[in-house]
Chain A
Amino acid sequence: MTEQFEPTIIGFTCNWCSYRAADLAGTARLKYPPNIRLIRLMCSGRLDPTFIFKALANGADGVMITGCHPGECHYLEQNYKALRRFHLVRRTLKGFGIEPERVKLVWASAAEGVKFASETTSFVEEIRELGPLHWGKNSGQFPGGGEPSEFEPAPESPEEVPA
Chain B
Amino acid sequence: MTANTKPKFAMYWAASCGGCEIAVLNIHEKILDVDANFEVVFWPVAMDAKYKDVEAMDDGSILLTLFNGGIRNDENEHIAKLLRQKSQILVAFGSCACEGCIPGLANLSPAGEIVHTAFNTVSTDNPHQVYPRTSFDVPEGEINIPKIFPTLRTLDQVVDVDYYMPGCPPESHQIGAVIDLVVQVLQGKAELPPKGATIGAGNSTVCDECERVRNVKNITSFHRIYDVDIDPELCLLEQGIPCNGPATRSGCNARCVSAGAQCIGCYGPAEGVVDYGARLIAAFASVIESNDPDEIEAILDGIPDPTGQFYRFNLAGSLLKANKSAYEKA
Contact = CB atoms under 8 A, between A and B. Distances in A.
Interface string B140-160: 000000011111110001000
B293 A149 contact: no
Contact of A97 (B128, B149, B325): B325
A95 B150 contact: no
B324 A87 contact: no
Given A87-B300, A144-B330, A150-B134, A57 B320 contact: yes
| Chain A residues touching B, range | 35 or more
B153 A95 contact: no
A91 B153 contact: no
A146 B71 CA distance: 13
Q: Which of A48, A152, A154 has the most CB of B within 10 A?
A: A152
A57 B275 CA distance: 11
A149 B329 contact: yes
Interface in A109-150: 135, 142-146, 148-150
B278 A148 contact: no
A149 B275 contact: no
B147 A162 contact: no
Given A50-B278, A70-B291, A92-B277, A85 B321 contact: no
Contacts, number: 156
B311 to A, nearest CB: 8
Nearest to A71: B291
Interface in B282-330: 282, 284-286, 288, 290-291, 293, 296-297, 300, 303, 305-308, 310, 318-327, 329-330
A5 interface: no
A29 interface: no
A75 to B, nearest CB: 13
Interface of B: 71, 73-74, 107-108, 111-112, 115-116, 120, 128-134, 147-153, 157, 274-275, 277-279, 281-282, 284-286, 288, 290-291, 293, 296-297, 300, 303, 305-308, 310, 318-327, 329-330
A97 B323 contact: yes
A149 B319 contact: no
Contacts of B330: 143-146
Given A135-B320, A148-B73, 10 more contacts: A48-B278, A54-B319, A85-B285, A91-B306, A92-B277, A143-B321, A144-B151, A155-B129, A161-B128, A161-B130
Contacts of A56: 319-320
Interface of A: 48-50, 52-54, 56-57, 70, 77, 80-81, 83-85, 87-89, 91-92, 94-98, 135, 142-146, 148-155, 158-159, 161-162
Contacts of B296: 83-84, 87
A28 to B, nearest CB: 30
A14 to B, nearest CB: 17
A87 B285 contact: yes
Nearest to A84: B285
Given A83-B296, A87-B296, A143-B151, A95 B108 contact: yes
Contacts of B71: 144
A56 B324 CA distance: 12
Contact of B149 (A80, A89, A135, A149): A149
A135 B291 contact: no
Contacts of B149: 144-145, 148-149
B148 A50 contact: no
A151 B275 contact: no
A157 B181 CA distance: 59
A142 B112 CA distance: 19
Nearest to A57: B319
Contact of B286 (A70, A81, A95, A145): A81
B130 A92 contact: no
A80 B300 CA distance: 15
B148 A149 contact: yes
B261 to A, nearest CB: 23
A143 B150 contact: yes
A77 B320 contact: no
B275 A54 contact: yes
Contact of A49 (B281, B288, B303): B281
